[in-house]
Amino acid sequence: MLLFRNFIDSFFTYSIKNIFLLLIISRIFFIINLIYIFYISIKNKIFSKLKKYNFFKFSFLFFLIFYITGLLINIFIRNSLINQLTFTFLILLFFFTFYLGYYFYLQKNIYISFSRLVLYFNIFLIADIFLYRLFSISIFPFIADIHNYYGNNRYAGVFLDRKVLGGYLCVTFPIIYNYLNLKLKNVDQIFINNIYFYILIYLTAIIFTGDRRPAFIFGIVLLFYYLFQKKKKINFKTILIFLFAFILIYLIFYLNVAIFNRVFIDTIYVINNFNNFERGNWFQLYHISFEIITHSFQNFIIGVGSKNFTQSCIDIGKLNCSTHPHNLYVEAFVNFGIVGFSILCICIYKYFKFLIKLLLTLRLKDRFNVFTALFIQVYFFIPFLPSGSLFAVDLLIYYSILNSIVILNLLTLSNYYDFKKI
């Protein structure tokens, strides 16, 4: 019996450590981890322990209000059972975020192993990106064949035909950055001592995937973070690093016309032609969303219900309807009207306000904890760029795992700072 229990514990420990890597293979592994974390949480009464933290009570209150509002709207418009169950899945991910964060807080060694695996796995992916862009080969030959078939303007590596590699690298960077700032005395010191060089190589790799949104967000967030650090000033070494990165990016754009067109020419074309509602133009989706919202008074007030964008698009006589508006805020307005949209915006505003006030309160050496949180929220909640669906399962899963790191950091900081004054 003891041997079996040790085997089960070892299996789940391995699964949690590799949660990101296993998720790439199948969602089944995430469901296994979700069940395990809920079991641990119930066993150790984690919910009652979290209730003493103000940030949990605040988050729970706003989440509950948003969830109940969405649930009532779905019931009122008689939304399908599948769509209602998908919306209900939000509550599981909300608690999973906090429970996993608390689990990492209690099991720091597992958190460190988890973060270190992400660091080295991403280095492996970055090496593959450079090989493909420089020499048109991949560490996995069949991957190169797949991408040659689909075209070279975007590269997804181990994600195959799902063009999310740039987004994956961007959203997992806060995990790596958070881990490196722990400054553990091991071989990872090489990254800590050359952090800006590593960041620029990382940014270059994201650009080379052809994913524009992650590259833009990563570059802007890192630039502002660098400029507003009090103790970091531009020096000769920094100038050389920026110069090296610029030359490297220029050479690959010069050698690869497809990615140059993807990053620059196509972007400029979309911006200059936003009034021409062609297929694939995000502004077309926003225009259709506006028509759905203004189609009736009910649509404006309470929306059309979760995951009903396609049907609503067809109902107003549109062709080639997408599955969602590709913008978080537009989708919230279409699904839940002005009521749900307002609740979501208030929640996001309060969250960012709390993080910024906390950032200004912390000592400089502790600010990386909040920067990690801000990076994640900016990526998911930046208002004016195309985004994934509010109810996309993969997106929600990634967001919940990433925010567990935020919860870990807040729990750690609460030992040294009084959040009640923030």
> For 284-313, what is each residue's pLDDT tens digit?
788 888 889 988 889 899 888 888 888 888
For the record, the structure tokens of 28 come out as 């089944």
Share of the chain above pLDDT 70, in %: 85
Q: Which residue has the higher pLDDT, 270 or 211?
A: 211
Confidence of residue 229 (pLDDT cuts 50, 70, 90): low
Tokens 């981890």 identify what position?
Answer: 33
Q: How many CB atoms lie within 10 A of CB 338?
A: 15
Q: Are 379 and 217 in contact (CB under 8 A)?
A: yes
Confidence of residue 407 (pLDDT cuts 50, 70, 90): very high
Q: 50: which residues sit within 8 A by CB, 6+ positions away?
A: 56, 98, 102
Q: Are 321 and 313 in contact (CB under 8 A)?
A: yes
Q: 363: which residues sit within 8 A by CB, 6+ positions away?
A: none
Instruction: Answer yes or no: is pLDDT of 418 > 50.
Output: yes
Q: Are 63 and 346 in contact (CB under 8 A)?
A: no
What's the mean pLDDT in 105-121?
A: 91
pLDDT of residue 279: 47
User: Of the segments 109-123, 210-224, 351-365, 368-382, which one has the largest average pLDDT value?
Assistant: 109-123
Domains of the chain, by residue range, sit at 1-43, 54-106+277-422, 109-272
Instruction: Answer yes or no: is pLDDT of 32 > 90.
Output: no
Closest CA to 59 of 415, 403, 374: 403
pLDDT of residue 301: 92
No. of helices (H) and no. of strands (E), the chain: 21, 0
Closest CA to 92 of 417, 395, 396, 335: 396
Q: 332: which residues sit within 8 A by CB, 6+ positions away?
A: 340, 341, 344, 390
Q: Where are the alpha helices (DSSP H) in 195-322?
A: 195-208, 212-227, 236-255, 257-260, 266-272, 282-293, 297-302, 309-315
Considering the entire predicted model, what is its pTM? 0.84
pLDDT of residue 364: 79
pLDDT of residue 112: 92
Mean pLDDT of the chain: 82
Confidence of residue 269 (pLDDT cuts 50, 70, 90): low
Q: How many CB atoms lie within 10 A of CB 219?
A: 15
